[in-house]
Amino acid sequence: MIGTETTPTERDEATAATTAYGINERRKSS
């Protein structure tokens, strides 16, 4: 993924998805 040409929107969506996934994982483990 790194190094490929992506639009800012695609990057923002990927970041949001990764962040949401991380939050959900953290919630499960607590």
pLDDT confidence tier of residue 3, bands split at 50, 70 and 90 = low
pLDDT tens, residue by residue, 8-27: 898 899 999 999 999 888 88
Grouping H, G, I as helix, E, B as strand and the rest as coil, residue 2 is: coil
Distance CA 30, CA 24 (A): 10
1, 14 Cβ separation under 8 angstroms = yes
